[in-house]
Amino acid sequence: EQRGVIFDLDGVIVDTAKFHFLAWRKLANDLGFDITLEQNEQLKGVSRIHSLEQILNWGGKSISKEEFDRLMITKNEDYLSRISGMSEKDLLPGVKKVLDYLTENNIPYSLGSASKNARPILKSLNIYDRFEAIVDGNDVSKAKPDPEVFLIASEKLKIKPENCVVFEDSVAGVEAAKRANMLSIGIGQEDVLREADHIFADFTQIELEFIEKIVTN
Ligand code: BG6
Ligand code: MG
C-alpha cells in the first residue's frame, strides 16, 4: 500500500524553534519573569494561544482578554521580525536530500504544523509547491497533542493514518502522531523525545536507506 510522509515545520524543516523561544522569552521578561529551555520543550508544537496561556501560568500572571490578544500580536510581530530574510539556505541540513528522495520516488508528503505562519515560511524556503498538502494552524480546531492536524493531512494525502510517517521535534507532536496511529520519527534529543518510534539528532543522521525502509512495505 502507498505510504505518505507528514513533516512538522518548526524545528524539523527549519530552525525557527529557537526564534519562537526567543520571542516568548522576551515577552516573559517584559512581564517580569523568565522561561527556561526546559520549559520551552513543553511549548514546542503547541499553538500560539496555548503557549501564551502556559507562559502566563508559569509566571503567575492573570491578564485581561484585551491584554492577552495584544501580547499574541506583539509576540508574532517580534517572531516575524526575527525570521525575516529567510531563504532556501535556512532549510535544516539534510532536509533537502530527504524531500528530493521522496519526490523522485513519488512518495507524497504533507506539512502538519501548528503554526499560522507556515505557508509564508514554506514560500520563503522555496519548497511550498513541493507539498502535496499543507495543514497548519489555520486549518485545525484542536492543537497538538490532539491528532487532528495529522489526521487531516492523512485525508488530504488520501493515505491511511497507519501508512503515514510523521517527522516531529516536539513532545506534543510525537504524542499527536501516536494518537493518530502513525509511525513517529523524533528529530532532536533522545531524552526529550523518548516516546517516538525512532529518534535522530537531525536529518544528517538519517540514511536514505532508512527513509526507503519506512516508506515502502
Ligand atoms: C509550532 C511551534 O510549530 O507552532 C510553536 O513549535 C509555535 O513554538 C506554534 O508557538 C504556533 O506558531 P505560530 O507561528 O502560529 O505562532
Ligand atoms: Mg516543531
Residues labelled catalytic:
8, 10
Q: For the complex shown, is ipTM > 0.90?
A: yes
Burial class (CB in 10 A: 0-12, 13-18, 19+), 66: exposed
Closest residue CA from atom 11 of ligand 1: 115
Q: Which tens digits make up the pLDDT trace of 86-125?
A: 999 999 999 999 999 999 999 999 999 999 999 999 999 9
pTM comes to 0.96
Pocket lined around ligand 1, Cβ cut-off 6 Å: 9-10, 17, 20, 43-48, 51, 76, 113-117, 137, 170
Contact partners, residue 28, CB within 8 Å, separation at least 6:
34, 35, 55, 58, 59
Distance, in Å, from the CA atom of 8 to the CA atom of 196, rounded to the nearest integer, reads 14
pLDDT in the model for residue 59 = 98
Ligand closest to the CA atom of residue 140: 1
Q: How far is CA 3 from the centre of its chain?
A: 20
What nine digits make up the cell of 137?
Answer: 494552524
Contacts for 95-101: CB closer than 8 Å, 24+ residues apart: 95/12, 95/13, 95/203, 97/203, 97/208, 98/203, 98/206, 98/208, 98/211, 99/127, 99/130, 101/208, 101/211, 101/212
149 pLDDT more than 80: yes
